[in-house]
Structure 1
Amino acid sequence: MIQVIEILIVSTCLIPLIYFYSVIFVKGYYDLYRLYLSIKTNIKKYLLIYISKISLLILSIAFTIALGYVYGLIFAILNTVLSLLIIPKSFIKVTRRFLFQNLISDFIVTCLTVLSLTIKSEIGYVFLVPEVLIVSSVILSYYINYPIEEIIRTYYLKKAKNKIKQANNLKIIGITGSYGKTTVKNFLAEFLSNKCVLVSPGNVNTLMGLTKFINNCLTPFDEYLVVEIGVDKLNGMKKYKRLLNLDYAVITSVGPQHLLTLKSIENVYKVKTDIAYLLKKDGTLFYNSDSVSYSKKFNGLKTVSFSSNDYKIISKNGEPAIVNFDDISIKTRLHFDSSVLNAYCAYEIAKTIGVNKKTLIPKFERLEEISRRKKIIKKGNKIWIDDSYNINFNSAKESIDYALKLQGKKCCITAGLVELGKDKKVYLTKFGEILAKLDSIFIMNNDFSGDMLNGYLSNGGNIKNVIKESKFDKVLNMCSNFDVILVLPIGDKYNLI
């Protein structure tokens, strides 16, 4: 009878522990798998990690039962060390924080597994109180830690909300979209430059990132707050309701971006149009009708659509565009159709807000493409097209089409496209096809195979014109023989100019 009770007690203690470890294990390796898809690392290395962790966990348990918990803990340490040795250096660089958290949690849970199996004999029966406490602490730690993190988040969110309330005349403009968010934000800031306007820096577009920015920078005297809103998960827009109550919402575009997490264009459309839920009842929604159709979510809202049909572009041989609309002709400094559309979007917002049209026209004329987003740089007799931030097919295609309008020998520097999800084959094939129109391709990540290669060859591309080189300085030297150099996404660590 005592043995049966002991078995029941041991089982009762182990079941929650096994469950807890399974949750960490499955979640951790699901994240690893997603990261593998993003950075295209060899899956065999992750399988090796997976197998080694399982093996060492089993050995830890076996040695604990046979020799005691000290030996089990030694194997728990080996488990962590082996993970550090096996995981590729490139992976560590990309996800250092995640890796550290994952390894620490693995180490703690392995140690607790070992300790929970340490059997102490006391007056003829198994004494399990320490084990019960250990297992309970593991489970409780999750439920204690999460509320603490939530309390901290709530504190800073409440602080930011109070700062917004203190700015009595503040109007909040939220911008979302697959691409064009930062460009529209910067153009709009220029149109509103005569006002007290606060603009979120760079591509700060997460809930807590915006919370920190507002807490640090917003003053009671600001009239306009312009922010980007980034969403790459279904229902991800709703969390921003905790911070933002928008006067104006903007959808710049819907396209093949974040397909790894959102899976389909339909889901991209859904999450981007969810910005309507952040609007005040008397708010205004601006949307790009070229890629966004009217949604039921817009019912009851004041809406303003804009599209490339609202104006006419006159441009020859890659020269800056002349834009005609509303009986106005504007000679701009913009070279790309998407840049003109983004500028027109910002113009419509500013006009709706109430900025005098006469003051907007000179500012429209001064707008230029911003750094790393289709920036044209002329150095001597060479033209550089810096589109190294926009990592999506539509943007890459537009940049290549523009390069083809220019005179001279043309090359492209790229590391390919990512986050394409189930449509990866289609987009990589198309990407290869349009790359074949250029004279040479420099591949920064040494990956020019599969669908991209098939597309390249099917459209007449010559494999001899594809150069694989991971060192950016060497690539720049090899580009000296070209007249037009297009730089597509190559990673943040490279600085073109």
Structure 2
Amino acid sequence: MSLLLFVIFVVWLINIFDRVLYSLHMMQLEMYENDKYMNWLTNNKVNVHGPKSNILVITSVIFVVLYMFYPYNSTILMLSWSAIGLYVASYRKYESKKPLVMTDRAKRLFIVTLTLAVVDFILVVLLTKWIAGEIYYIPISAFILSLSIYYGTYYIIGGVWLLNPIEKSINNRFYIQAQDKIKRLEDLIVVGITGSYGKTSTKFITSEILEQKFKTFKTPGSYNTPMGVSKVINEDLNDSYNVFVVELGAERMGEIKKMTKLVTPDIGIITSIGPCHLETFKTLDNIAKTKYELIEGLSGDGWAIFNYDNEYVKKLADMTYIKKILYGLKNPNDLDVYAEDIVTNMDGSTFTLNIKGKGSVECKTKLLGKHNVLNILAGAATGYVLGMSLVQIACGIEKIEPIQHRLQLIYPGTGVIIIDDAFNSNPDGAAAALEVLSEFRNNRKVIVTPGMIGLGDVEYKENKELGRGIAKVCDIAILVGEVRTQAIKEGLVDADFDRENIFIVKSLKESEMVLKTLLRQGDVVLFENDLPDTYNEA
């Protein structure tokens, strides 16, 4: 009997190991927050339980019922259960766009969660044996264990809860260490950038412009949380740098305030306020208040820089009475930094940069779209505040390279042009991407998109509007995820888009297969947004 139990344990462990690893990956994508992870569980029933795992539950029920009424050799029963368990385990493989990163925190959580599951196994067997007796405990245990496999992605919730006090202590230690380091770097100028969108692009742009005069360090990629920024400060920032450009992200009120206490910015840039993370913020007013925490957290002699074209940012700028710079493309009489004579095409943009009290200069950039000119103005305003000349600023603008996954033009050598705008789409960004796509007037235009997320109650409306926008510009629309893209499809149909040119696929990989059958030389393909693995419908 003990050998049979060992076989059951091994098969169970193979399945649970995979379920825990998968759930760890999803939990990492959800920032180790149980609330967000549980929301993912609610909205992703198929991925939660995994393919074929229901087969093991159903057969376990059948085995138990048969054994109750017709007791037979339990060895045959459990070997059959084990064979089905191995069959189920063989279907556990899944593809991911962003792989699991086995950080120290991930390793701790994996070990604790797996230990929790093993303890559960032991308790199930012992309690079942005590309640059901020697004869029936094996088949009944197998049934309960099949349920634990079916619900295996729930163990991680307990692991996070158990480790939460430890993780908070570790995070707090890193945070204080980084905070102290910033305080020691007394001559360091800190530029903080926040906004509903555009902050990462603005960070890269601003850093390149400032590099023409200062040795500048920026947070890599989309590092914009207290722990991510603390890690960068502790490991990479040193006294050889003159300027530190840091991106400040938030999903809840108070998070920007925590970031400003960490880095104490001297210059604060608000790029935009819009419907982003509305599931947690609830209202645009809450988003505006949170972004303004950057301005409230500036050092005593700090500068505030505002995108005056954004109606919500404009309201914040108008209520600000510290030193401030207003930039934009509209109403130049109200602005300190603005652009005129903008010409955009497939190769980038040219424009005249104007800075009140300093003059104007002709600028050229490789970046696509007017919205990137707006982002450049934020960087130019920062350069102006820090005493850079117009020539230095223009030189920096010309050196800016396209930013990965943000309207990045790619020529793969197949005669097809790719516009990669796969990073975190939003209503303004999607409209800007379609405007760039429309510049390719003599080309057939294709879009691949799963739509936009994180827009709360307006998500359906905004995605439907995206569909209407696609209909005006594109010849072919490939929609990734039938459920997610229903609103886009409705917008396309409402705009009388040819239904035969609408293709609905389950995954990005499947979209690539469709593209292979459709594309011809000269086509332009826009990849607009690429949702994380937690949103997979396939």
TM (norm. structure 1) is 0.72
Residues in 1 aligned to 2:318 and 2:300: alpha-carbon distance in whole angstroms: 12
Q: Work out whether 1:386 is the aligned partner of 2:392.
A: no
After TM superposition, give the deviation of residue 223 of structure 1 in Å: 1.2
- Describe the shift of the 1:146–1:359 C-alpha distance in structure 2 as closer, same or farther (beyond 3 A): same
User: What is the CA distance between 1:296 and its match in structure 2?
Assistant: 8.8
Q: Is the 8 A contact 2:405 2:423 kept in 1?
A: yes
In 1, Cα distance between equivalents of 2:246 and 2:298: 14
> Counterpart in 2 of 1:9?
none
- Report the counterpart of residue 441 of structure 2 in structure 1: 407
Q: Which of the residues 260, 265, 269 maps onto 1:250? A: 269
Q: 2: CA distance between counterparts of 1:216 and 1:34?
A: 33
Stretch deviating more after TM superposition (420-429 or 305-314): 305-314
Counterpart Cα distance in 2 of 1:315 and 1:432: 27
Q: Deviations over 1:224-255 (max 9, x none)?
A: 11111110112222322442211111111112
Q: Which moved more, 1:458-467 or 1:255-264?
A: 255-264
Partner Cα separation in structure 2 for residue 368 and residue 30 of structure 1: 35
Given that 2:188 and 2:242 are in contact with CA atoms closer than 8 Å, whether structure 1 keeps it comes out as: yes
Aligned to 1:165: 183
| Structure 1 position 349 matched with structure 2 position 382 | yes
**Quick one: distance in 2 between partners of 1:154 and 1:30?**
22
Aligned to 1:32: 38
Helix, strand or coil: the match of 1:173? strand
- Give the match for residue 470 of structure 2: 435
Question: Can you list the C-alpha shifts for 1:396-438, whole angstroms capped at 9, x where unaligned?
Answer: 1111122123223111112222222111221121011112231
State the one-letter code of the partner of 1:314: I
Q: Amino acid of the residue matched to residue 455 of structure 2?
A: L
**Cα separation, 2, equivalents of 1:186 and 1:395:** 17
TM-superposition CA deviations, 1:113-153 (whole Å, max 9, x none): 989999x9xxxxxxxxxxxxxxxxxxxx9999655433322
Corresponding position: 1:483 with 2:501: no
Of stretches 336-345 and 105-114 in structure 1, the one that deviates more from structure 2 is 105-114
CA contact (8 A) 1:306 1:345 kept: yes
Q: Distance in 2 between matches of 1:301 and 1:269?
A: 18
Q: Does 1:294 align with 2:295?
A: no
Letter in structure 2 aligned against 1:346: G
Partner of residue 265, structure 1: 284
CA–CA distance in structure 2, aligned partners of residues 296 and 402 of structure 1 = 29
Measured in 2, the distance between the counterparts of 1:297 and 1:362 equals 32
Q: Which residue of 1 aligns with 2:153?
A: none
Give me the whole-angstrom Cα distance separating, in 1, the residues matched to 2:119 and 2:95: 23
1:137-194 deviation line (CA, Å, top 9, x unaligned): xxxx999965543332232222222322332311111111111112111111111213
Change (3 A) 1:436 1:88: farther
Cα separation, 1, equivalents of 2:47 and 2:163: 32
The one-letter amino acid of 2:378's match is C
Give the Cα–Cα distance (whole angstroms) in 1 for the partners of residues 232 and 117 of structure 2: 35
Pair 1:323 & 2:357 matched: no
Counterparts of 1:95-106 in structure 2 under 5 Å? none
Which runs of structure 2 are paired with 1:183-202 in the superposition (5 Å)? 183-193=201-211, 194-202=213-221
Q: What pairs up with 1:74-89 in 2 under 5 angstroms?
A: none
Q: Secondary structure at the match of 1:321?
A: strand
Within 5 A, what are the aligned runs for 1:4-43? 31-34=37-40, 36-37=42-43
Distance in 1, matches of 2:124 and 2:407, equals 56
Aligned residue in 1 for 2:24: none
Query: Cα gap change, 1:195/1:458 in structure 2, threshold over 3 Å: closer, same or farther?
Result: same
Indicate the RMSD between aligned Cα atoms, in angstroms: 4.5
Corresponding letter in the other structure for 2:370: D
Please give the alpha-carbon distance, in whole angstroms, between the structure 2 residues aligned to 1:382 and 1:92. 26
Normalised by the size of structure 2, how large is the TM-score? 0.67
The 8 Å contact of residues 373 and 389 in structure 1, kept in 2 or not, is answered as: yes
Once the two structures are TM-superposed, the CA of residue 391 in structure 1 deviates from its matched residue by 1.6
Query: How far did 1:452 drift?
Result: 1.9
**Residues 179 and 253 of structure 1 are in contact (CA less than 8 Å); yes or no, is this contact kept in structure 2?**
yes
Pair 427,103 (structure 1): closer, same or farther in 2 beyond 3 Å:
farther
SS in 1 for 2:279: helix
Q: Residue 65 of structure 1 corresponds to which residue in structure 2? A: none
1:228-247 matches, within 5 Å, as 228-247=247-266
Identity, in percent, stands at: 25
- The superposition leaves residues 48-92 of structure 1 with CA deviations (integer Å, 9 ceiling, x where unpaired) of 99xx99xx9xxxxxxxxxxxxxxxxxxxxx9xx99x98x986699
Provide the rounded CA distance (Å) in 1 between the counterparts of 2:92 and 2:322: 51
Aligned to 2:224: 205
2: distance between equivalents of 1:234 and 1:90?
A: 35
Does the CA-based 8 Å contact 2:278-2:284 persist in structure 1?
A: yes
Mapped to 1, the partners of 2:408 and 2:160 lie a distance apart of 47
- Please give the alpha-carbon distance, in whole angstroms, between the structure 1 residues aligned to 2:176 and 2:309: 38
Q: Give the AA of the match of 2:503.
A: I
- Is 1:377 the equivalent of 2:387? no
Q: Which moved more, 1:426-435 or 1:95-104?
A: 95-104
Which residue matches 1:363? 396
Closer/same/farther in 2, CA of residues 156 and 436 from structure 1, 3 Å limit? same
Q: Which one-letter code corresponds to 1:284 in the other structure?
A: W
Q: Name 1:74's counterpart in structure 2.
A: none
Cα distance change, pair 293–349 in 1 and its aligned pair in 2 (3 A): same
CA contact (8 A) 1:274 1:297 kept: no
Cα distance in 2 for residues equivalent to 1:240 and 1:421? 25
| Contact 2:275 2:455 (C-alpha < 8 Å) held by counterparts | yes
Residue pair 2:478, 2:511 contacting (<8 A) in 1 also: no
CA distance in 2, matches of 1:412, 1:95: 25
| Whole-angstrom distance in 1 between the partners of 2:470 and 2:499 | 11
Count of aligned pairs: 430
For the structure 1 residues 275 and 88, does the alpha-carbon distance in structure 2 shift closer, same or farther, using more than 3 Å as the test?
A: farther
3-state DSSP class of the match of 1:33?
helix
Q: Is the 8 A contact 1:248 1:285 kept in 2?
A: yes
Aligned to 1:472: 512
Deviates more, 1:306-315 or 1:217-226: 306-315
Give me the whole-angstrom Cα distance separating, in 2, the residues matched to 1:475 and 1:143: 44
Q: Which residue, out of 181, 185, 194, partners 2:199?
A: 181
2:450, 2:479 within 8 Å by CA — same for their partners in 1? yes
Separation in 2, partners of 1:458, 1:101: 52
Give 3-state SS (helix, strand or coil) of 2:302's partner: strand
Q: What stretches of structure 1 of length at least 5 have no aligned partner?
A: 1-26, 57-77, 121-140
2:112 and 2:308 mapped to 1: Cα distance?
Answer: 44
